[in-house]
Structure 1
């Protein structure tokens, strides 16, 4: 049976609700709109994996290194020890997102960056904003094949995608190729935003998987799993 990469932390039961962790060799796609919680979920996975001694590379189009550290500590996810001991490699690619408009070789450059893919788990948040100018069907197939090759080495690849940044054909290629497919839904409810993790597909789970998991994001607490999930 494949090794399970757990991301459990004492203060929430997200790991238990998501099958007990990601099986080694999984391709995970997390899809959601702008402000849907993709980055927070990525940060929670990253911290939880590190807490369970799993090495992580987090490639982010969202935050500088300083911004990332501040954000993690604002949610009480103390990641400095992991950055210092090498369990976490954080790579901000904000300037590259600006440059990507003129770079049609971006997918090739991503695949050539070997040091990005040395850790057990690689999280790319948000992949769609990195490849939206260079993705066509052929290049996307190459990229998915590349990720699958890494999966064959036991690595977990977690990709966040904002579907309106890609054509439907390309977005559906990622959905059909992945082992775990999660959609993040959010809707206003009074003065709050109701957020839900919808699990569309989860292959090889060790334990039971919740189909719909309600969550909220709180300062000093981070991600909080709601007791009762809502649709």
Structure 2
């Protein structure tokens, strides 16, 4: 009986709802305190809109919560990722050294991703995720892995991700909006438990990054919240008042 009540509390956003904080209070407020643990989150946007920055902030929150994280990245090497985190005042080098964070770069200099090379790669990735002991898994970004992938294989991958979150994994996936047909995007968005949309807005004479919360399963507060920010080397994320921004 207690277990049923706990599950119901999670579904409706009760006090038992377990969350993953980003480690940034302003962002957490927009996410109804944080992302649900045991969920599949989509972080979507065009180039240079802050998708990787947001995943880095969430990874920081996971580290501070003593969670094990695995990052599959086509955006960085392990060295460049750690350097980026340090430049945002989010030094996780100790967590990496002790094995709490594992980084798997998904790109190789001089290697061409063709259809033959791409065949079955999502199946191998999901197999790796199934055998992982990490509580939090980040794929940044899915775009590279789907260039020669059918819609059915992509949706099968996401369905397998959903099965993993049902068994306790927390999975975050980033993708570039331009790389997918609208019908495919609608299906991807519907599968995910949380959806964050990243874009840019003009503030005065400069652009800032904007995160719009489209949905968060189990959230007690209204979603559709928007937060704008800049990233300053040596300081990290600086929240910008949205009232001054023109999207």
Task: Name the TM-score, length of structure 2 as normaliser.
Answer: 0.83
Larger Rg: 2
For 1:160 and 1:151, how far apart are their aligned partners in 2? Answer: 16
Q: Which residue of 2 aligns with 1:128?
A: 143
Q: Which residue of 2 aligns with 1:7?
A: 21
CA positional deviation for 1:226: 2.6
Q: Which residue of 1 aligns with 2:178?
A: 164
Q: Which residue of 2 aligns with 1:69?
A: 82
- 2:206 aligned with 1:192: yes
CA contact (8 A) 1:132 1:166 kept: no
Gapped regions of structure 2 (runs ≥ 5):
1-5, 11-16
Following superposition, which runs of at least 4 residues in structure 1 exceed 6 angstroms of deviation?
none
Query: Could you list the per-position Cα deviations for residues 93-115 of structure 1 after superposition, in whole angstroms to 9, with x for gaps in the alignment?
Result: 12299443242222122122247
Q: What secondary structure is seen at the aligned counterpart in 1 of 2:172? A: strand
Q: Which residue of 1 aligns with 2:158?
A: 144
Gapped regions of structure 1 (runs ≥ 5):
none
Query: Could you list the per-position Cα deviations for residues 4-30 of structure 1 after superposition, in whole angstroms to 9, with x for gaps in the alignment?
Result: 233243x64212321112222211001
Instruction: Identify which range, 85-94 or 56-65, moves more after superposition.
Output: 85-94
Q: What is the root-mean-square deviation of aligned Cα atoms in Å? A: 2.3
- 2:82 aligned with 1:47: no
CA contact (8 A) 2:72 2:105 kept: yes
For 2:96 and 2:19, how far apart are their aligned partners in 1? Answer: 19
Q: Which residue of 1 aligns with 2:128?
A: 113
- 2:192 aligned with 1:178: yes
Q: Which residue of 2 aligns with 1:217?
A: 231
Q: Which residue of 2 aligns with 1:90?
A: 103
